[in-house]
Structure 1
Amino acid sequence: MSTDYQKAREALGIRLRELRLTAPGGRLTGTHLADRCGWHKSKVSKLENGRTTPTPADLRNWAEGTGQPETYDELLHRLRGFESHTRSWRRQLAAGHKPVQDARNAEHARTRTFHVWQGAMVVGILQTPDYARAVFTRFTELQRSPRDIEEAVASRMKRQEALYDSTKRFHIVMWEAALRALICSPSVLAAQLDRLTGVIGLPSVDLGIIPLSAPLKIPPATAFWIYDERQVIVENWHAELWIDEESSMDTYLRTWRTLRESAVYGTEAHRLVNAARHALEQD
Structure 2
Amino acid sequence: MSTDYQQAREALGTRLRELRLSAADGRLTGPQLARRLGWPHSKVYKLEGGRQTATGDDLRAWAEAVGEPEVTEELLARLRGFESHIRSWRRQLASGHAPVQDVWNVAVDQARVIHAWEEAVIPGMLQTADYARHIFLRYADLQGTKRDTDAAVRARVQRQEWLYRGGRMFHALVWEPALHALICPPSVLVGQLDRLAGVIGMDTVELGVIPLGASLRVPPANGFWVLDQQLVIAEDWHAELWLDDADTVASYVRVWETLRQSAVYGADAQNVIARARRSVSPRA
**TM-score by structure 2 length?**
0.92
Corresponding residue number in structure 1 for 2:202: 202
Residue pair 2:234, 2:242 contacting (<8 A) in 1 also: yes
Question: Could you tell me which amino acid in structure 2 is paired with residue 245 of structure 1?
Answer: D
Residue pair 1:229, 1:249 contacting (<8 A) in 2 also: yes
Aligned equivalents of 2:282 and 2:54: distance in 1? 54
Describe how 1:75-224 pairs up with structure 2 within 5 A. Answer: 75-224=75-224
Aligned equivalents of 1:217 and 1:198: distance in 2? 28
Aligned equivalents of 2:104 and 2:113: distance in 1? 14
Structure 1 position 65, deviation (Å): 2.4
Aligned equivalents of 1:67 and 1:169: distance in 2? 55
Aligned equivalents of 1:191 and 1:271: distance in 2? 16
Residue pair 2:3, 2:248 contacting (<8 A) in 1 also: no
Q: Any gaps of 5 or more consecutive residues in structure 1?
A: none
Residue pair 1:172, 1:207 contacting (<8 A) in 2 also: yes
Structure 1 position 271, deviation (Å): 0.6
Q: Which is worse superposed, 251-260 or 23-32? A: 23-32
Describe how 1:23-62 pairs up with structure 2 within 5 A. Answer: 23-30=23-30, 33-34=33-34, 37=37, 39-41=38-40, 43-62=43-62
Q: Any gaps of 5 or more consecutive residues in structure 2?
A: none
Query: What's the C-alpha RMSD, in Å, of the aligned pairs?
Result: 2.0
Residue pair 2:126, 2:196 contacting (<8 A) in 1 also: yes
Corresponding residue number in structure 1 for 2:5: 5
Q: 1:32 to 1:161 in 2, by over 3 A?
A: same
**Percentage of identical aligned residues:** 56
Aligned equivalents of 1:151 and 1:59: distance in 2? 36
Aligned equivalents of 1:257 and 1:2: distance in 2? 20
Local SS of the residue matching 1:218:
coil
1:239-269, Cα deviation, whole Å (9 max, x unpaired): 1111111111111111111111111111111
Local SS of the residue matching 1:17:
helix
Q: Which is worse superposed, 267-276 or 64-73? A: 64-73
Corresponding residue number in structure 1 for 2:234: 234
Residue pair 1:30, 1:41 contacting (<8 A) in 2 also: no
1:85-141, Cα deviation, whole Å (9 max, x unpaired): 111111111111111111000001101110111111100011111111111111112
Aligned equivalents of 1:144 and 1:44: distance in 2? 33
Corresponding residue number in structure 2 for 1:68: 68
1:192-234, Cα deviation, whole Å (9 max, x unpaired): 1011111111111000101111111111111111101111111
Aligned equivalents of 1:75 and 1:241: distance in 2? 22
Q: Does 1:270 align with 2:263?
A: no
Question: Could you tell me which amino acid in structure 1 is paired with residue 82 of structure 2?
Answer: F
Aligned equivalents of 1:32 and 1:141: distance in 2? 45
Local SS of the residue matching 1:240:
strand
Residue pair 1:113, 1:170 contacting (<8 A) in 2 also: yes
Structure 1 position 36, deviation (Å): 5.0
Corresponding residue number in structure 2 for 1:247: 247
Aligned equivalents of 2:32 and 2:99: distance in 1? 41
Local SS of the residue matching 1:249:
helix
Structure 1 position 186, deviation (Å): 1.1
Structure 1 position 54, deviation (Å): 2.2
Aligned equivalents of 1:30 and 1:261: distance in 2? 53
